[in-house]
Amino acid sequence: MKGSMQERQSRRNCSKKKSNLVLLFLAMLFIGLSFADAFKWIHPIDVSISNFVQSFKNGLLTQVAVFISWFGEAPQGYVMLVLSAVALYVTRLRWEAVVLIVSNIIAIASEELIKIIVRSPGPGAPSVPDLIKVTDYTFPSGHVIFYITFFGLIYYYSILRMEQKWTKAVLLIPIGILIALVGVSRVYLLEHWYSDVIGGYLLGGMILIITILCYKYGIVHNIKLSQRK
């Protein structure tokens, strides 16, 4: 029994070290990209990629892109978040509900703060700097961050809780597709530059990893909200 406990602790420590290394790597990439965006070093690449994506524009793809982005718009994004948290809470997954809400609040606050700091206008911003508003700043992409921090955490919870493979597939495949394609849809719809999308994936990934580490900490230390009766 003692050997088994030590083995589990060793695996947890190893997993934590790997997570910390991934976090450090993502943070370095995000900081570098933030500087590149703030000083417009990456703007020519953004324009080239945007023009390339626009070359495929047609009615069907536009409808698909709008549908993929729809889940991240207000008010439906907030409604899904609140309903999911309520559903988790009433099914006695209270720690999961709290983690879901808190992580997304932190994600929204982080996104808005970084947009103000980096001050990178999106494709639809006015060409005259004096006319640019705070709402015109688009780095990092809020849609991408939301899809990772919300859908990504639901994805993680589902892997932990669902036992039947077919039920996992029914839920997880669409979620995976949404997370993978939301970035392309934002560039296609001229709502974001390519660098905005990459920044969203990096920041969202960091927040998701930290969220999962905090969630595991709460389970291991038996936080009262995580107790099942």
pLDDT of the residue at 86: 97
Which residue is listed with tokens 């859908």? 151
The pLDDT value recorded for residue 77 is: 96
pLDDT in tens, 99-114: 999 999 999 999 999 9
Q: What is the mean pLDDT of residues 30-59?
A: 95
Least confident of 137-151, 158-172, 188-202: 158-172
Q: What is the model's pLDDT at position 8?
A: 63
Average pLDDT for 12-25: 85
Identify whether the C-beta of residue 185 lies closer than 8 Å to the C-beta of residue 69: yes
On the question of pLDDT at 42 being above 90, the answer is: yes
Q: Where are the domains of the chain?
A: 2-226
> Contact at 8 Å (CB) between 184 and 11?
no
Kindly state the average pLDDT of the residues 62-68: 97
Prediction pTM value: 0.91
List, in sequence order, every residue forming a beta bridge with 121; answer none if it has no partner.
137
Contact 14, 180 (CB under 8 A): no
Q: What CA–CA distance (Å, rounded) separates 55 from 173?
A: 28
Higher pLDDT, 124 or 29: 29
Q: Which of 101-110, 125-134, 171-180, 187-196 has the lowest average pLDDT?
A: 125-134
**Is the predicted pLDDT of residue 165 greater than 80, yes or no?**
no
* Residue 69 CB contacts under 8 Å (≥ 6 apart), including other chains: 143, 182, 185, 186, 189, 191
